[in-house]
Structure 1
Amino acid sequence: MNGNWHSHWRHVFKLDPERDISDEALEAVCLSGTDAIIVGGSSGVTFENTVELMSRIRRYEVDCALEVSTLDGAVPGFDGYFVPLVLNTDRAEWILGHQLEGLREYGSFVPWEETAAQGYIILNGEATAAKLTGAKTALTEEELVACVRMADRLMRLPVVYLEYSGRFGEMAMLRAAKRAVNGAQLFYGGGIDSPEKAAEAAALAQTVVVGNVLYVDLVAALATVGAVKKVDGINRL
């Protein structure tokens, strides 16, 4: 991989190290045609469960990246690493505090060419991530655009991530983010539990992240891969 290691991703599955997934289901996910798997979660992430999940995914050739949300879960051996910065919170530890702590401890070992910052904008107030970080989720469209511009144009972050975590978001907000973004890769995640929702999000976001549905309806989750690819096929016509 190189500095643009995630730029070709259109569809991504996100797996939580704390949640159980059978070998059969994991094989189906890894061989589904998805572009990558991101390993990460908002709570309960440890070195042990992250290593265990990574070793199982490593049986397959799919790209595998780690979202480093806790120092306990910082595990070497992934293809790439994402470092989240929550943009819509007043709590400085979620913007630079935890990140500086990580760099003090592990900065000499960071594979910089395979590491990218994510500008997270969390928009579901009921989500664990929102409660944990104190995210101000009731943003107006103008406030959202300001967050996007700060991440994309001022901070020059490579990824802007709209996260609804657990529910399907307002596509008008995603559309506003798409209009505002200039150089960053626009990720969308949250509530994608059908091919139709995957296609709707893929029409606006560069990268669609599918997570929770994997654990409740594997067939529906797998169908989102083809739905995203179909959107790309239609756009080429």
Structure 2
Amino acid sequence: MRQLIQPWRHVFKLDPDRELGDGELDEICRSGTDAILVGGSSGITYDNTTKLLSRLRRYELPCALEVSELEAAVPGFDLYMIPMVLNTPHTDWILGHHRKAIERFGSLIPWELLLTEGYIVLNENSSVARLTGADTGLSRRAAAAYAEIADKLMHLPVVYLEYSGMFGSMEVVREVRESVEHSQLFYGGGITGEAEAEQAAALCDTVVVGNIIYRDVQQALLTVQAVKKTQKTYI
């Protein structure tokens, strides 16, 4: 499954709990983005996730589900991305919910389709920070240390810098970038147009664009080529 995500430079993240018209969805799926990631921090249900997946399956585009709600673990996705929030004192978000899922579903889990994400949540005002109790007041070195734990100690395929709702510090991103050797570095948060997309793409392997889709789909579409034309400065 690592091979599936390696080519991903640009990803659109869609929230099943938010409205998106058929025309906008068509533009998003035909934009040249590398994949669709389905997920959100609240309001995610089996029904709204199933409905969104059925709409996405009209397009030849990889579809991954970020499993943040056990009840919404819908079959039929190409990949299931399992977040572990590293910078929280609450172990439920590192191992607890994962244990419960295994106890409940056991042999039904398609292990060959799962990839784990080491999340580092850095916007204190985001829904995910409030939900998980993440320690968002990290120094650059502390954020990089969490990334090294994910990369070198836990050998996670993805390190995900999550600024959900705001554009993050590129100084922090750069220090994290310099600490990650093996994991694929994802960035998400505050991408509202080409400028932010280019800055994040220069330092990260994969740029995830989400909220702007629901405010200005045309600006969202511009981020695709902005990311893909940007050379990685760390190579």
TM-score (norm 2): 0.97
- In structure 2, the residue matched to 1:74 is 73
1:54 and 2:50 aligned: no
Q: What corresponds to 1:202 in structure 2?
A: 201
Identity %: 54
Q: Residues 3 and 140 of structure 1: is their aligned pair in 2 closer, same or farther, counting only changes over 3 Å?
A: closer
Q: 1:174 is matched with which residue?
A: 173
Distance 2:141 2:11 in 1: 28
Q: Secondary structure at the match of 1:5?
A: helix
Whether the 8 Å contact between 1:148 and 1:180 is mirrored in structure 2 is: yes
4+ residue runs over 6 A deviation: none
Tell me how far 1:73 sits from its aligned partner: 0.9
How far did 1:113 drift?
2.2
Distance in 2 between residues matched to 1:80 and 1:110, nearest whole Å: 12
Q: C-alpha displacement at 1:108, in angstroms?
A: 1.2
Q: CA deviation at 1:96?
A: 0.3
Conserved 8 A contact 1:165-1:191: yes
- C-alpha root-mean-square deviation of aligned residues, in Å? 1.1
Secondary structure class of the residue paired with 2:203: coil
For 2:110 and 2:172, the matched residues in 1 are separated by: 34
1:216 aligns with 2:206: no
Alignment-derived partner of residue 152 in structure 1 = 151
Q: 3-state SS of the aligned residue for 1:4?
A: helix
Conserved 8 A contact 1:3-1:114: no
Deviation per CA, 1:108-156, whole angstroms, max 9, x where unpaired?
Answer: 1222222100000000000000000000001001111110111110011
Give, in whole Å, the separation in 1 of the partners of 2:21 and 2:152. Answer: 42
Deviation at 1:3, TM superposition (A): 4.2
List per-residue Cα deviations over 1:26-55 (Å, max 9, x = no partner): 000000000000000000100000000000
User: Aligned to 2:196, what secondary structure does the other structure show?
Assistant: helix
Contact 2:191 2:209 in 1 (8 A): yes
Distance in 2 separating the partners of 1:7 and 1:115 = 15
Q: Please give the residue correspondences for 1:1-237 in structure 2 after superposition, counting only pairs within 5 Å.
A: 2-232=1-231
Instruction: State how many pairs are aligned.
Output: 233
CA deviations over 1:136-195 (Å, ceiling 9, x no partner):
001001111110111110011000000000000000011011100010000000000011
CA contact (8 A) 1:3 1:113 kept: no
Runs of at least 5 residues in structure 1 that lack an aligned partner in the other structure: none
Which residue identity lines up with residue 136 of structure 1 in the other structure? Answer: D
Q: Is the 8 A contact 1:164 1:190 kept in 2?
A: yes
Verify the 8 A CA contact 2:2 2:157 in the aligned structure 1.
no
Report the secondary structure of 2:150's partner residue: helix
- Distance in 2 between residues matched to 1:87 and 1:28, nearest whole Å: 35
Instruction: Give the partner amino acid of 2:23.
Output: E
Distance 2:3 2:90 in 1: 30
C-alpha distance in structure 2 between counterparts of 1:48 and 1:139, whole Å: 37
Which SS does the other structure have where 1:119 is aligned? strand
Distance, in Å, in 2 between the alignment partners of 1:172 and 1:79 is: 34
The answer on whether the counterparts of 1:5 and 1:114 sit within 8 Å (CA) in structure 2 is no
5+ residue gaps in structure 2? none
TM-score scaled by length of structure 1: 0.96
